[in-house]
Structure 1
Amino acid sequence: MTSGPRSRLLALIGLLLLATATVSAEAEDWRAEQERDRVPRVPGQGFNASFAHYAGYVTVSEERGAALFYWFFEAAQDPGSKPLVLWLNGGPGCSSIAFGLGEEVGPFHVNADGKGVHMNPYSWNKVANILFLDSPVGVGYSYSNTSDDVLRNGDARTAKDSLAFLLKWLERFPQYKGREFYLTGESYAGHYVPQLAQAIKRHHEATGDKSLNLKGYMVGNSLMDDFHDHYGIFQFMWTTGLISDQTYKLLNIFCDFESFVHTSPQCEKILDIASAEAGNIDSYSIFTPTCHASFAASKNKVMKRLHSVGKMGEQYDPCTEKHSIVYFNLPEVQKALHVSPVVGKSKWETCSEVVNTHWGDCERSVLHIYHELIQYGLRIWVFSGDTDAVIPVTSTRYSVDALKLPTVTPWHAWYDDDGEVGGWSQGYKGLTFVTVRGAGHEVPLHRPKQALTLIKSFLAGSPMPVQSNMRSDM
């Protein structure tokens, strides 16, 4: 009579032990995967880092053999309490490792000699756990075993692959499941970021899976709407004195929206005139020096002194991209970052011309996605460096205005920690717009301290600091 209940009890105990063993084995699996991706040090790192970081691949399509490369940095202090932030660069075809990490918001920036790294005192991992992703395939160290895969990229597949990456990455780093999660990026990531946010939203709705606890996104100098982005460029060039009155008038006559996107002979001629009038400047940052040999040589002398303490001064370096090309092509760097030998056989590029040239589907506007995600309740911020002539502040303001959102907080100046005007801001119902004074296309490169204030305010859901927060001695 007692054998039946006892047998059932023993069977139940057996199942519990089996389940415990299975969970333990799964835990060992992800711990082993994390340890495999851990990066103890990188070449030319003459300092100790107080945080852990990991680099490697996540396969996003077994069928295509497509794998995306990531580099992840835990927060400098108390990572368990900090949110998870993804950074994406655009192009399309540009590497988030090259730009976002190597010269903007990452903890390590590449030295002027291209042989090592130094600490970034304004790294965003001071306030968050930061994940950098090279997306789509063919960008940076990301690859596909399907030979023509890099010719088939576009907006839709990039969002799909990036979502697949995030879901699989969380299986490798399950401690971040359910953690507050934010998307950030710049330039063509003005497409990537809202499209990925939309894909995450739809994944939530279709599956009920909330492992990706998306709370909001922030994009800078971002492509938002082809018409308004185009409409603001010529106005910016004229008001900043880059082109003449006559050229401005002719641009508006011969380079209407269709002619600008699919250039006519008349439009090309006047664009050449505009380029000649503007001169040899960096269109991404019109008031800073361009990269030339004499500047790079003098900068290198300064950097030798600064790197002795492992930190870089605030002097602007226009040659940062060249430094990255040297560093990320070093075999010892690729080995330290667990880069696939298949990728190592080809030259690493900051931006892939192949990916850019063969880009497929591209939405003319993402403003409808903004409306959808505002209704979803996401925190949405748009920022703009005001010395960028590629996607200038005028273009972004036209795009934001086109959303027709009610104003909540009128246009006002915000202030940095030194009591200086850091830029201007306006709060709308569902969106915050921020300009960063004196910054170019890559805001954190040109104004790193102000960019750190920006991410702090965004993550806190607080307005940018106003004059009342200035130093008491001002």
Structure 2
Amino acid sequence: MALKPRINLKGYLIGNGATDADYDLNSFVPFAHGMGLISTDLFEDVSAACHGTFWGKVNDVCQENIDRVRWVELKDLNTYNILAPCYHHPEVQETAFVNSSLPSSFRKLGETERPFPVRKRMAGLSWPLGLPVSSGHVTLWPELGGKSLPCTSDELATIWLDDEDVRAAIHAKPKSLIGSWELNTARIDYIHDTGSMVEYHKKFTAMGYRVLIYSGDHDLCIPFTGTEAWVRSLGYRVVDSWRPWHFGGQVAGYTQGYDHNLTFLTIKGSGHTVPEYKPKESLAFYTHWLFGEKI
């Protein structure tokens, strides 16, 4: 009799995860102001026009202010880490919305006579220009006509993944057979149909699973402020008040613990992919959490 494998799940960790459109998409304007990326005057203008809602169906004045923040003030920043350099790819700007394989109505969504490009209908419909939290097909960058992600560089990744020893180690065919590695060129037919993840987190924490939600605090893609807000929305009692956690004798971030074995943690100076930017600190808090030790 064959034995069925059993997963003895104890808990899970999620870092800078897209969770809920209301929390995630509404957080980028307050985050930008708090990080000193936009002026207080602009923040007050946006707040007054938008009444605290910075995405979705908003009035025209609100949308113009949002567009100014996103497409004028923040356009030259690396969305995934505001401290990291922005690698400019002119071909992306020129071809991102000119892919002839796309319907004309889709390609012209960004065209407008207004001083700021209006792309609100695309927000939430595609990962590159919004978040994949809304239901439906998630549009990826190759479908928009560009091979490069804005502000990112794949130069080092290409060198590493084209190394024949690396390719052999990950069981990839030699470059002579399949060519050089390329970033994000494959078509992935990804459909999102689960909506907000908040109720799932509430369900799993109520079932007793240990959960660590962590955020690089310089990620503009999924700002920690939105993540912290939905964690607090679960309504759990604070059992470990907000405090710094340390690595190498230095403050490495901040954390707050809740009942139901839920912990929220930030990593100071890190972007969207925390282990990439803070590998030593990541190993430290991963290890402590996995062994049930205080971070």
- Return the TM-score normalized by structure 1: 0.43
Per-residue deviation, 1:234: 0.8
> 1: CA distance between counterparts of 2:281 and 2:19?
23
Extract unaligned runs of 5+ from structure 2: 90-150
Which of these residues, 251, 255, 268, is aligned with residue 421 of structure 1? 251
Counterpart residue number, 1:323: 156
Structure with larger Rg? 1
More helix by share: 1
Contact (CA 8 Å) 1:407, 1:426: kept in 2 or not? yes
Counterpart residue number, 1:187: none
Which of these residues, 409, 422, 444, is aligned with residue 240 of structure 2? 409
* Secondary structure of 2:287 counterpart: helix
Q: Following superposition of structure 1 onto structure 2, how do residues 343-382 of structure 1 map, counting pairs within 5 Å?
A: 345=178, 348-351=181-184, 354-355=187-188, 358-382=189-213
Alignment deviations for residues 215-261 of structure 1 (CA, whole Å, 9 cap, x no partner): 1100111112111112221100011111233433454435975x724
Does 1:281 find its partner at 2:77? yes
Per-residue deviation, 1:289: 2.5
Residues 352/461 of structure 1: CA separation in 2 closer, same or farther (3 Å cut): farther
Residue-pair matches, total? 229
> 2: CA distance between counterparts of 1:454 and 1:254?
38
Runs of 4+ more than 6 Å apart:
262-265
Counterpart residue number, 1:260: 55
Per-residue deviation, 1:376: 2.2
> 1: CA distance between counterparts of 2:179 and 2:206?
45
> 1: CA distance between counterparts of 2:254 and 2:169?
42
User: Match of 1:289, as an amino acid?
Assistant: P
* Secondary structure of 1:404 counterpart: coil
Contact (CA 8 Å) 2:214, 2:265: kept in 1 or not? yes
Counterpart residue number, 1:396: 227
Q: Following superposition of structure 1 onto structure 2, how do residues 292-307 of structure 1 map, counting pairs within 5 Å?
A: none
Does 1:218 find its partner at 2:13? yes
Alignment deviations for residues 262-289 of structure 1 (CA, whole Å, 9 cap, x no partner): 7887666434421322352212111233
Per-residue deviation, 1:347: 6.9
> 2: CA distance between counterparts of 1:267 and 1:340?
51
Residues 337/422 of structure 1: CA separation in 2 closer, same or farther (3 Å cut): closer
Contact (CA 8 Å) 2:38, 2:73: kept in 1 or not? yes
Contact (CA 8 Å) 1:260, 1:267: kept in 2 or not? no
> 1: CA distance between counterparts of 2:181 and 2:193?
25
User: Match of 1:270, as an amino acid?
Assistant: N
> 2: CA distance between counterparts of 1:241 and 1:336?
44
Contact (CA 8 Å) 1:425, 1:433: kept in 2 or not? yes
**Which structure is richer in relative contact order (CA contacts within 8 A, separation 6 or more)?**
2
> 1: CA distance between counterparts of 2:57 and 2:157?
33
Per-residue deviation, 1:327: 3.8
Extract unaligned runs of 5+ from structure 1: 1-18, 24-207, 294-317, 465-474
> 2: CA distance between counterparts of 1:269 and 1:331?
50
> 2: CA distance between counterparts of 1:359 and 1:262?
25
